[in-house]
Structure 1
Amino acid sequence: MRPKIAAGNWKMNGTAAALTELHSLATGLPDNPPQIVICPPSTLLFRATDATHGSPIQIGAQDCHAEEAGAYTGDISATMVADSGASHVILGHSERRDAHRETDADVQAKAIAAWGAGLTAIICIGESEAERDAGQTLDIIGAQLDGSLPDAVEAGNTVIAYEPIWAIGTGKVPSIAQIKEVHDFIRARLIDRFGAEIGNALPLLYGGSVKAANAVEIFAVENVDGALVGGASLKAEDFAPIVTALAQS
């Protein structure tokens, strides 16, 4: 059975004061909670792992470099992420692909580095609104899967997050039929490439304007194993209902 995962991407938000949200979240979890991964800014990684010690909450980074060390000013390596106590790292988020011009090959190299450091890679894929309107969604998703996933994918080292770019932070949400179409396509593509055992075991998350109000409906979709949540993960009072909805799905 695939794990249910509620992941939160804080993006460039949060200082030390925000760590109180982690305590609030940990004390309000439902019985038998899903796997919870919070990805704060890199400045908070060490303190976040300390703040969640002994709780079900795991900590992840928002990116890592493909190289272990070197003259890469401002970057953080997978080894450094692991050294902070974090267990996961988000890779290939559309904001990185766009603003930092990251390619599928870049994401693949980072995934290999993440695995080498013992991290689980949360690999993001998704189409733009123009690509969706042009009927290219599945072509784009297929190409990103093929290019971003290394051949050594295993169920324990990789999570796939489908985030339609046009739904991130916009309040727009694909229809349930659209979410199902893409997640079913991803599952079939993974099985075709990696075989049924691995392809069926990889968790698939949906991301893009997930809120308490729509979480139950989204989590009822086959092949949706959880969510990668942005703004709604910043406050425990907003994220906790999403976690509860996933636990009950």
Structure 2
Amino acid sequence: MARKFFVGGNFKMNGSLESQKKIIEALNAAKLNTEKVEVVVAPQALYLLNTRAELRKDIGVAAQNVFSKAHGAYTGENSAQSLADAGITYTLTGHSERRTIFKESDEFVADKTQYAIEQGLIVIACIGETLAEREADKTIEVCVRQLNALAAKVKDWSKVVIAYEPVWAIGTGKTATPEQAQEVHVEIRKWANEKLGAQIADALRIIYGGSVNGGNCKDFLKFEDIDGFLVGGASLKPEFHNIINVHNL
């Protein structure tokens, strides 16, 4: 099954109104291969509305985080219903910074993922191991544990993109080699085949995130189980356009 390539840009807690405006203007003016590549950007919550209003419509906009319940007394959280109401059609869940800094459990991430799907959002669900876990040869064990938590709650996998992000390669300048990424992606698809069935496994997009940039992105293309990228710091730079157009480089 042909899986549409997916490139997400996670701006994290970076930027200002002025820098955001420049990024949007540059994306609007760029010749991007959005017919063949699904492109999504995730600005800070403060900038979601103006990004969606000003950004070209063939690029999606994602929240960086979402809560697991409807409206209510949850100060500081993002409502999935409110996001959908505002035209924000994607969200991230389970990013390592949420799991490690804010101590979000696998089960909580799964709850948020399913609730966002129920509200009509497409979820970029992040998984990945720490350096200590990799060095202890627990990479697959950790990823499967996180995936099993998702599988216990998620009912519609067509609304999920899995982002494999080794924690040791996020914001460090270190990158898993394409071979290392493919090894894990193969195991994720094997898990999906056994747990969810062949049809879902074939359709499931598994993208790589971890210091992806304009210089190394093309090296990942030769591996059939790498269906795109979740880009961090490089998404704030002009090289993000090259990552989107990686098949043309």
2:9 matched residue in structure 1? 8
Q: Displacement of 1:200 after TM fit?
A: 1.0
In 1, are the aligned partners of 2:90 and 2:122 still within 8 Å (CA)?
yes
1:195 matched residue in structure 2? 197
The DSSP-based 3-state class of the residue aligned with 2:216 is helix
Query: What TM-score results when the alignment is normalised by the length of structure 1?
Result: 0.94
Name the CA distance, whole Å, in 1 between partners of 2:7 and 2:220. 13
Q: Displacement of 1:162 after TM fit?
A: 0.1
1:144 matched residue in structure 2? 146
Return 5+ residue gaps in structure 1 as ranges: none
Q: Percent identity?
A: 38
2:98 matched residue in structure 1? 96
Name the CA distance, whole Å, in 2 between partners of 1:214 and 1:29. 21
Q: How is 1:129-140 mapped onto 2 (pairs within 5 angstroms)?
A: 129-140=131-142
Name the CA distance, whole Å, in 2 between partners of 1:85 and 1:227. 23
Q: Displacement of 1:52 after TM fit?
A: 1.5
Over the aligned positions, Cα root-mean-square deviation in angstroms equals 1.4
1:47 matched residue in structure 2? 50
Name the CA distance, whole Å, in 1 between partners of 2:210 and 2:44. 19
2:38 matched residue in structure 1? 35
Query: What TM-score results when the alignment is normalised by the length of structure 2?
Result: 0.94
Name the CA distance, whole Å, in 2 between partners of 1:229 and 1:29. 19
Q: How is 1:81-120 mapped onto 2 (pairs within 5 angstroms)?
A: 81-120=83-122
In 2, are the aligned partners of 1:26 and 1:57 still within 8 Å (CA)?
no
Deviating above 3 A after TM superposition, structure 1's stretches of 4 or more consecutive aligned residues are: 30-33
Return 5+ residue gaps in structure 2 as ranges: none
Q: Displacement of 1:33 after TM fit?
A: 4.7
Aligned residues: 245
Report the more deviating stretch, 142-151 or 113-122: 142-151
Name the CA distance, whole Å, in 2 between partners of 1:196 and 1:33. 24
